[in-house]
């Protein structure tokens, strides 16, 4: 039973007992007159209605606080409930808002550390793939070529087939290393990195189109990395799960910053729950104060939109 109904029924019980006493041993006339009964019942009804209205007004801030508590998501920051009502209720709402501020700050700090560690581990793995496995496969490829050139035709043909398989494996390792550590992002910038990304994403029947504006404002490394990772995750999900035939990546300037939009014509999200990839995109967006929306597109499929404020003091 809610607090409102507990208080209301308690007050109603007191009023009903008082009315019953007036109709019984405490009545002003014996026997009870019908006019007295009518007046007492009307008075009781008026008092109950006034009591209900006053309690509803007094407890309204608690109801707003309850809704805020049940709908708050640290990955989707929203407006705080207004600290209104009586002093105790206002203090409760203020305490709740302070707790949310602290939780969001702690989440942002822990997420930043986790994502920084993730990027460092990606760089380490990419470096090892390039330096260790890549060089080893290159040596194997050269050795196969040397042996195939001096082998008799039947054996030489088999060795050349093995050489092609090794070359394909080497190309795949280099592609994985580039996805783990986008060196082109550091060397040539965001526009070139996104262009390279759209050419690397592949799936049967999928065509990726990119539209990148040439007047993008200066952005820090963290902002560019978040934009790249969100685009990478969105296109990867499109290639793996959407069944789309076309995807469009758009990056353009806005009045307050830049906007990245990735849309496809696939079967959409449906009732799919958000996985670690989508949550990772939201965490990255919050790190740079960006706003991420993910849902159905205007003409079907899925649309991911990342709005990034870029200006003085932004990185």
What is residue 31's predicted lDDT score, i.e. its pLDDT? 67
- pLDDT on residue 300: 79
Q: For the chain, what's the residue count? A: 315
Q: What values do phi and psi take at 258, rounded to 5?
A: -135, 160
**Which of these, 197, 184, 198, 191, lies nearest to 218 by C-alpha position?**
191
How much is the pLDDT for 268?
75
pLDDT given for residue 252 in this prediction = 92
The domain ranges of the chain are 3-104, 124-180, 188-309
Global pTM reads 0.63
pLDDT tens per residue across all 315 residues of the chain: 566 677 777 778 877 777 776 666 555 566 666 776 777 777 778 778 877 887 777 777 777 788 777 777 666 666 777 777 667 777 888 888 888 888 877 777 777 777 778 777 877 887 788 778 888 888 888 888 888 888 888 888 888 888 888 888 888 888 787 777 777 787 788 888 888 888 888 777 888 999 999 888 888 888 888 899 899 888 888 888 788 888 999 999 988 889 999 998 888 776 666 666 788 888 888 888 888 888 887 777 889 999 998 864 444
CA distance 196 to 191: 9
pLDDT at 313: 41
Rounded CA-CA distance 110/102 in Å is 12
**In this structure, what token pair is assigned to residue 163?**
């050489």
DSSP strand pairing (246-253 vs 207-212): parallel
Distances (CA, A) of 113 to 107, 124, 125, 280: 10, 16, 18, 13
pLDDT at res. 267: 81
* Topology of domain 188-309, CATH: Heat Shock Protein 90 (3.30.565)
Write down the pLDDT at residue 152: 84
Considering only CA atoms, give the Rg of the chain.
33
- Specify whether the CB–CB gap between 224 and 185 falls below 8 A: yes
């Amino acid at each position: 039973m809610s607090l409102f109904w507990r208080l209301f029924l308690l007050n109603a019980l007191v009023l009903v007992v008082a009315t019953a006493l007036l109709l019984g041993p405490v009545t002003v006339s014996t026997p009870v007159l019908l006019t007295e009964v009518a007046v007492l019942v009307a008075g009781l009804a008026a008092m109950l209605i006034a009591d209900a209205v006053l309690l509803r007004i007094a407890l309204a801030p608690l109801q707003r606080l309850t809704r805020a508590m049940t709908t708050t998501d640290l990955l989707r920051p929203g407006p705080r409930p207004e600290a209104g009502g009586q002093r105790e209720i206002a203090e409760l709402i203020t305490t709740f808002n302070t707790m949310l501020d602290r939780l969001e700050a702690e989440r942002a700090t822990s997420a930043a550390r986790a994502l920084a560690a993730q990027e460092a581990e990606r760089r380490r793995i990419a470096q090892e793939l390039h330096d260790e496995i890549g060089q080893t496969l290159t040596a194997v490829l050269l050795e196969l070529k040397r042996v195939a050139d001096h082998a008799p035709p039947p054996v030489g043909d088999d060795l050349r087939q093995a050489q092609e398989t090794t070359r394909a494996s080497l190309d795949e390792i280099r592609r994985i290393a580039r996805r783990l550590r986008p060196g082109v992002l550091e060397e040539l910038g965001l526009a070139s990195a996104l262009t390279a990304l759209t050419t690397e994403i592949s799936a049967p029947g999928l065509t990726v189109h990119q539209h990148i504006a040439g007047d993008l404002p200066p952005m820090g490394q963290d902002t560019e990395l978040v934009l790249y990772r969100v685009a990478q995750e969105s296109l990867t999900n499109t290639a793996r799960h959407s069944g789309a035939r076309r995807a469009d990546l758009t990056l353009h300037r806005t009045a307050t910053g830049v906007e990245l939009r990735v849309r496809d014509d696939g079967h959409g999200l449906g009732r799919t729950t958000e996985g670690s990839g989508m949550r990772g995109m939201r965490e990255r967006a919050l790190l740079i104060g960006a706003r991420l929306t993910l849902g159905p597109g205007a003409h079907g499929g899925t649309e991911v939109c990342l709005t990034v404020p870029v200006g003085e003091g932004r990185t």
